[in-house]
Chains A and B, each alone.
Chain A
Amino acid sequence: MSGLVVERSLPRFAAARAWSSLRGSGRAGEVGPLRLADVPTPSPPGPDWALVRPRLAGICGSDLATVDGRSSRYFEDLVSFPFVPGHEVVGILETAPAGSALAPGTRVVVEPVIGCLPRGLEPPCPACAERDVGACQHVAFGRIAPGLQIGYCRDTGGGWSTAGLVAHASQLHPVPETMDDETAVLVEPTACAVHAVAQAPATSGEVVAVLGAGTLGLLVVAALRHLADPGTLLVGARYPHQRRLASELGADLAVPEDQLPRSVRRATGSLAAAGALSGGAAVVFDCVGSAASLRAALGMVRPRGTVVLVGMPGPATVDLAPLWHRQVVLQGVYAYGLEHLQGEPRRTFEVALELAARCRLGRLVSAAYPLERFEAALAHAGQAGRRGAVKVVFDLRSRRPSSRPAPDPGAPR
Chain B
Amino acid sequence: MSPRPGYVLDVDRSTPPVLFWHGEGFRLERLPEGSRVIYPPEPLPPLPDPIGAIRRALEEPLGDSQPLRSLLRPGMRLTICFDDVSLPLPPMRRPDVRQLVIEQVLDLAAEAGVDDVCLIAALALHRRMTEAELRHALGDRVYDAFAPQGLLLQHDAEDPDGLVHLGRTDLGEDVEISKRAATSDLVVYVNINLVPMDGGHKSVATGLASYRSLRHHHNARTLRHSRSFMDKDHSELHSSNWRMGRLIAACGVRIFQIETTLNNDAFPAQLRFLQRREWEWTAQDRATYLATQAALRRLPDGLRRSVFHQVTAPYRLTSVQAGEVEAVHDETLRHVYAQQLVEVEGQSDVLTMGLPYICPYNVNSIMNPILVACLGLGYLFNMYRGRPLVREGGVLILSHPTPRSFHPAHHPSYIDFFEEVLAETTDPGEIGKYEEAYATDPWYVHLYRTGNAYHGVHPFYMWYWCAHALEHLGGVIVVGGDPAAVRRLGFKPASTLADALEMAADVVGPSPSVTHLHAPPLLMADVR
Contact = CB atoms under 8 A, between A and B. Distances in A.
Contact of B442 (A256, A259, A262, A269): A269
Contacts of B443: 265, 269-272
B442 A266 contact: no
B115 interface: no
Contacts of B286: none
Q: What size tier do the contact residues of chain A reach?
A: 10 to 19
Interface in A259-288: 259, 262-263, 265-266, 269-272
A263 B420 contact: yes
A356 interface: no
Interface residues of B, number: 10
Contacts of B416: 259, 262-263, 266
A265 B437 CA distance: 12
A246 interface: no
Nearest to B456: A266
Contacts, number: 27
A253 interface: yes
Contact of A269 (B419, B423, B441): B441
Contacts of A255: 419-420, 423
A256 to B, nearest CB: 7
A352 to B, nearest CB: 31
B441 A262 contact: no
A259 B415 contact: yes
Interface string A79-92: 00000000000000
A102 B415 CA distance: 56
B441 A263 contact: no
B420 A266 contact: yes
A76 to B, nearest CB: 42
B528 interface: no
B451 to A, nearest CB: 12
B297 interface: no
B129 to A, nearest CB: 23
B415 A262 contact: yes
B446 interface: yes
A262 B419 contact: yes
**Chain B interface secondary structure, helix, strand, loop or mixed?**
helix
Counting chain A CB atoms within 10 Å of each CB, which of B415, B419, B437 scores highest? B419
**Chain A interface secondary structure, helix, strand, loop or mixed?**
mixed
Counting chain B CB atoms within 10 Å of each CB, which of A253, A262, A266, A271 scores highest? A266
A272 B443 CA distance: 7
B415 A266 contact: no
A269 B419 CA distance: 17
Contacts of B415: 259, 262
B446 A253 contact: no
A271 B446 contact: yes
A259 B442 CA distance: 18
Contacts of B437: 266
Contacts of A253: 420
A92 B368 CA distance: 56
Contacts of A269: 441-443
Contacts of A266: 416, 420, 437, 441
A407 B446 CA distance: 47
Interface string A236-264: 00000000000000000101100100110
Contacts of A256: 419
A98 B446 CA distance: 69
Nearest to B446: A271
Interface in A376-395: none
Minimum-distance CB pairs A-B, first 8: A259-B419, A271-B443, A255-B419, A262-B416, A266-B416, A269-B442, A271-B446, A271-B442
Interface of A: 253, 255-256, 259, 262-263, 265-266, 269-272
Given A262-B415, A262-B416, A271-B443, 4 more contacts: A259-B419, A262-B419, A266-B441, A269-B442
27 contacts: A253-B420, A255-B419, A255-B420, A255-B423, A256-B419, A259-B415, A259-B416, A259-B419, A262-B415, A262-B416, A262-B419, A263-B416, A263-B419, A263-B420, A265-B443, A266-B416, A266-B420, A266-B437, A266-B441, A269-B441, A269-B442, A269-B443, A270-B443, A271-B442, A271-B443, A271-B446, A272-B443
